[in-house]
Structure 1
Amino acid sequence: MTATNTLEDPRVASALDRMFRRAEQDEAIRGRIRAARPQGSAPLGPQEQADANAEVYMPISAQGGRLLYNLIRATRPATVVEFGTSYGVSTLYLAAAVRDNGTGRVISTELSATKAAAARRTFAETGLDDLVTVLEGDARDTLAAVAGSADFVLLDGWKDLCLPVLRLLEPRLAPGTLVVADDVYLESLAPYLDYVRDPRNGYQSVTFPVEDGMEISCRL
C-alpha cells in the first residue's frame, strides 16, 4: 500500500515553495518598515503591527513545518488551533497532516485582513480549504467564541500575546495536549517560556532545536 503524504501534492509543494521564496524578502521589507517610523515613536499595538507588516510572510521554517506535520500525524487531534496564520505556510503543514490522518480540522487566527484573504486563496488552490477555518481579528476575541476542545495548539503570532492566548485556551486543553510555540530565542517570548517551563503551571516543556527553536509543552 502506498503511503499518503499531502505535503508531496504538487499544489501544496508549489505553494510552499512560492511562499518560502517570497519570504526571503522579509528582512528587507522589515528594514523599510523600521526606516519609515519616526525615532521615538510609541510602540505599535497588535492591529497596528499586523497592518504595518502586511507584506511580511514570517513563515515557520520548513523543518519546523515537517516537525508539526509529524506531531499531528502521531497525536491525531480533532481540532488544531493556530495563533497566527500570516500567509498560511504553517497552516498548510497542519492541514496536510489533518488530511492524511483522515480526521480533524484546523482553526487559525489572523489580524491582517490582507494576509487572511491571501491565505484563504492559497488553501482553496491547494484543496485544503475544507479543513481550515481562518478567524479574522484579535485571537483573544475570536478564539473565545469558538466552542469545543483545543487538541493541538500552535502559537506563532505576536510573541507578547502567546501567553494570553494560551491562558485563554487552557480550560479547553485536556491532559496530554501538545502546545507548540515558535521562535524561542526572541526576547518577547520570555514571559510565555517562563510560564510553560514552571511545573507549577501544569506543563512538561522541552525546547526542540529546529531553526529558531520550538518549545513543545505537554499539558499535564
Structure 2
Amino acid sequence: MAKLSVNVNKIATLRNARGGNVPNVLQVALDCERYGAQGITVHPRPDERHIRRTDVYDLKKVLTTEFNIEGNPDERFIRLIEEVRPAQVTMVPDAPDVLTSNAGWDVAKNYDHLCRLVERFRSWGVRTSIFIDTDLENISWAAKTGVDRIELYTEPYAANYARNREDAVRNYVAASAHAHALGLGINAGHDLSLENLRYFTEQLPHLDEVSIGHALIADALYLGLEQTIRQYREQLAL
C-alpha cells in the first residue's frame, strides 16, 4: 500500500497571511500524524512565502513519521538538508519565482549535477528522489544517477482524468513499470485528490508514496482534517 505524506505548505500560507502563529504548523503536522498520515512533506522556497526555514528545523525535532523535504537544490537548500537530515529529499527544478512546481527535471541535461547531489545526500543517510515526468528515457537517465526514487509529476494526469482516465494514466503506468524494472522506488505528487487518487493507485501497483497538500487541505475545510486523512488513506488501501 502506498504511503500518504501530507504537505503542510498550505497551512503555513494561511498562517503567514495574518502573521502570528495561527494556525500552528507544528501542531497541524503532529495532528496529521495522529490522524494517520505516514509522512510530512514541506517545500521551503527562498522567499519563505509559506514554509520558513525555522519551521523545517522545528518540525524535525517533533515528527515521528517520515519527513520529506522538497526543493530546488541550491546551496542554501543543500545546507538545510545537511543540517536537518530528513528521511527523504526530493529534488525539484523550481525557479525562485514559480508559484508551484510545474515541471520535472531534464535529467540528461543536468546529469552530472544530479549525480553529485545524490552522492552528497546519500552520504548523509538521506533517501533521494528526483521530481520527473513520464518520459522513459528520462527515467533511465535518473536511474543512472544512483537516486533511490523518482517522484512522478501528476498534474497532467489530474488535468485529464475527468475527460478520459484511461488515457490520462497510460503514460504513468508505463513510467512506473519502467522505473520499477530499473530498481527505482516510485513516488507521485501534484494535484492528486479524492476524485482521482484511487484509480491512479490501482493502476500503479509499485507506487510507494504520494505527497498531497493543496487538495487535502481544501477537503479538510469541509470534512475536517481527521476525516480527510482517513478518506485519503482509504483511497490508498487496495
Shared fold by TM > 0.5?
no
Shorter-chain TM band: 0.3 to 0.5
TM-score (norm 1): 0.33
With CA pairs under 8 Å and 6+ residues apart, which has the higher RCO, 1 or 2?
A: 2
TM-score by length of 2: 0.31
